[in-house]
């Protein structure tokens, strides 16, 4: 005996199906194979509704909370670093004096007042790189900087 015997909707749902109450059969599956790779239409967004409206508001709110607690967070990080937390100590030192990616370049370049001075500076960079006083990356950085000076003049 069912506890739902007096409720007609539940009794009908729990009753075995007969020809009158049976649901129609599901349509047959298409015989086409499932496409592999990119089954979507090219140029159509995967999220046509776009970013949720509150996403930017949440990010701004989070930034505001961080700004309010910035001093306290820095103090806590320094406290943990001084207490012996090696990860925090490394992070604090990296913030105070970041690691250099390239060593400083000691190269005498002429003062640049015109294009001839710029050519002389480029020649000095090429000579230093050829002599091994500069790495290729350092020479490339200096040449890019000098090209920027050329574009500005």
> Are 143 and 125 in contact, with CB atoms under 8 Å apart?
yes
Which structure tokens are listed for 22?
């049976």
DSSP secondary-structure letter at 51? Answer: S
The predicted pLDDT at position 27 comes to: 61
Residue 124 lies in a domain: yes
CB-hemisphere CA count at 13 Å for 75? 4
> Are 125 and 146 in contact, with CB atoms under 8 Å apart?
yes
In whole angstroms, what is the distance from residue 87 CA to residue 81 CA? 8
Residues of the domain holding 92? 54-96
Helix segments in the chain, DSSP class H: 8-14, 54-68, 70-82, 86-96, 115-131, 136-152
The predicted pLDDT at position 15 comes to: 60
Residue 9 lies in a domain: no
pTM > 0.85: no
Residue 143 lies in a domain: yes
The predicted pLDDT at position 20 comes to: 57
Residue 103 lies in a domain: no
The predicted pLDDT at position 95 comes to: 83
Residue 15 lies in a domain: no
Residue 21 lies in a domain: no
| Sign of the CA dihedral running 117, 119, 125, 127 | negative
Residues 119 and 92 in one domain: no
Residue 141 lies in a domain: yes
Tens of pLDDT along the chain (153 residues) come to 455 455 555 555 556 555 555 556 666 666 777 667 767 777 777 777 877 888 888 888 888 888 888 889 889 988 999 999 999 998 888 888 877 777 778 888 888 888 888 899 999 999 999 999 998 989 999 999 888 887 776
Residue 31 lies in a domain: no
Q: Report the domain count for the chain.
A: 2
């Amino acid at each position: 005996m069912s506890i739902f015997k007096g409720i007609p909707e539940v009794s009908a749902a729990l009753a075995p199906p007969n020809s009158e109450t049976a649901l129609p059969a599901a349509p047959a599956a298409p015989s086409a194979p499932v496409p592999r790779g990119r089954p979507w239409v090219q140029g159509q967004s995967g999220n046509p509704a776009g970013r949720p409206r509150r996403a930017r508001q949440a990010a701004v709110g989070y930034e505001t909370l961080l700004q309010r607690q910035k001093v306290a967070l820095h103090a806590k990080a320094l406290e943990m670093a001084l207490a012996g937390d090696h990860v925090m100590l490394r992070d604090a030192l990296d913030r105070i004096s970041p690691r250099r990616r390239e060593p400083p370049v000691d190269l005498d370049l002429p003062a640049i007042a015109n294009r001839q001075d710029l050519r002389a500076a480029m020649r000095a960079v090429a000579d230093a790189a050829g002599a091994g006083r500069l790495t290729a990356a350092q020479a490339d950085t200096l040449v890019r900087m000098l090209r920027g000076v050329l574009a500005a003049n």
